[in-house]
Amino acid sequence: MSDETATMAAPAVGRAALHTPTRGRAARWYERLIELGLAGCGMTSIVVTIGIVVILAHESKDFFAHVGLGEFLGSTKWTPIIGDHHSYGVWPLLSATLTTAAIALAVAIPLGLLAAIYLSEYAAPRTRKIIKPALELLAGVPTIVFGYFAITTLTPALRDYIPGLSGGNLLSAGLMMGVMIVPLVASLSEDAIYAVPQSLREAAAGLGGGAFEAIRKVIVPSAWSGIAAAITLAASRAIGETMIVAIAAGNEARFGFDPRQPGQTATAYIVDISKGETPHGSVAYQTIFAVAAMLFVMTLIMNVISHRLSRRLRAAARA
């Protein structure tokens, strides 16, 4: 209805058109309604986030009252259920989380960055049109598929080359996670590289720089804050990834950074304990929230860094 009034009002030139009575209250209410609806959608995610923070804080408060931050961060033994004496040192979970994330990034950063460079600087428009959606399709594969692939195919294959690789191990899980993250790094880095002004490419060419030198010394550095944002986002994805590590990493909470050994990441621990029959309100139950709070803080830090960097990128692009 507002469309109709708009087209009717359009030909009328002059101030009077602005006061057309039909385009008064009804249309304004309509727009106000849409605005409110959209604001509501936006609020939902904020409300949910706040809810999560409150629950995490509340439940882990009880945990830390019982265990203490000193033991949580100071001990390398994590036996919240097993045995008579329970230990709550988070380091076994942290070491597995960091090891798998580091392996994943060691795969995803170079591959993703090189793919991005290829797509934006070398690929013909037709190739680009095929490869980019294919890459994004890879990003849509459910992670449980990667997890099963890691344990049924990758680990057996790697065992031929790496003696002492145990059945569930950090290496396969990390590598698979890396493959999973490649599209994220590639896609975001490609956007950043693509946004580098053509005039800089011309300047580099005009100075007698070869294509690869220009990419290395001018184009990638110019896109750096965008690429760094992609990398930090990838890191928080790696830290938070659950399914692959829960399936392929072995699920043994042992402290150590040897990728051939099994391990249990923070996320995998949460899955593990959540499916058991841990009594509500017990310390073991509260560990879920303490570990989740730690994960939340880690990814929050990563996201803040990523956000800062992309803001700097936008500021630089405007300059």
Partner 1 sequence: MKITVKGLRASFGDHEVVKGIDLAIPSRQITAIIGPSGCGKSTFLRCLNRMHELVPGASRAGQVLLDDTDVYADDVDPVLVRRWVGMVFQKPNPFPSMSIKDNVVAGLRLTHRYDRKDAPGVIERALRQAALWDEVKDKLNDPGTSLSGGQQQRLCIARALAVNPDVILLDEPCSALDPIATARIEELLLEIRRDYTMVIVTHNMGQAQRVAEHTAFFLQGELVEFDTTAALFGQPRDSRTADYIAGRFG
Nearer Cβ to partner 1 (228/245): 228
Q: Which stretch binds partner 1 (CB under 8 A): 37-45, 178-186, 205-213, 292-300?
A: 205-213
E strand map for 38-147: 78-79, 87-88
Q: Which stretch binds partner 1 (CB under 8 A): 45-53, 138-146, 194-202, 297-305?
A: 194-202
Q: Please, what is the angle between helix 224-240 and helix 91-117, to 10°?
A: 140
Q: How far is the CB of 190 from partner 1 (least distance, A)?
A: 18
- DSSP letter, residue 151: I
Tokens of 94: 């942290």
**x/- map, 140-179, partner 1, by CB under 8 A:** ----------------------------------------
Neighbouring-strand partners of residue 250? 263
Name which position in 195, 200, 271, 284 contacts partner 1 (CB under 8 A).
Answer: 200
Q: How far is the CB of 120 from partner 1 (least distance, A)?
A: 14
Nearer Cβ to partner 1 (214/248): 214
Count of Cβ atoms closer than 10 Å to residue 57 Cβ? 12
CA atoms of 21 and 98, how far apart (whole Å): 65
Are the beta carbons of 23 and 9 closer than 8 angstroms?
yes
139 HSE (CA, 13 A, CB side): 18
Name which position in 10, 13, 16, 319 contacts partner 1 (CB under 8 A).
Answer: 319
Neighbouring-strand partners of residue 263? 250
Nearer Cβ to partner 1 (40/221): 221
Q: Which residues of this chain interact with partner 1, rule CB under 8 A?
A: 197, 199-200, 202-210, 213-214, 217-218, 221-222, 224, 316, 319
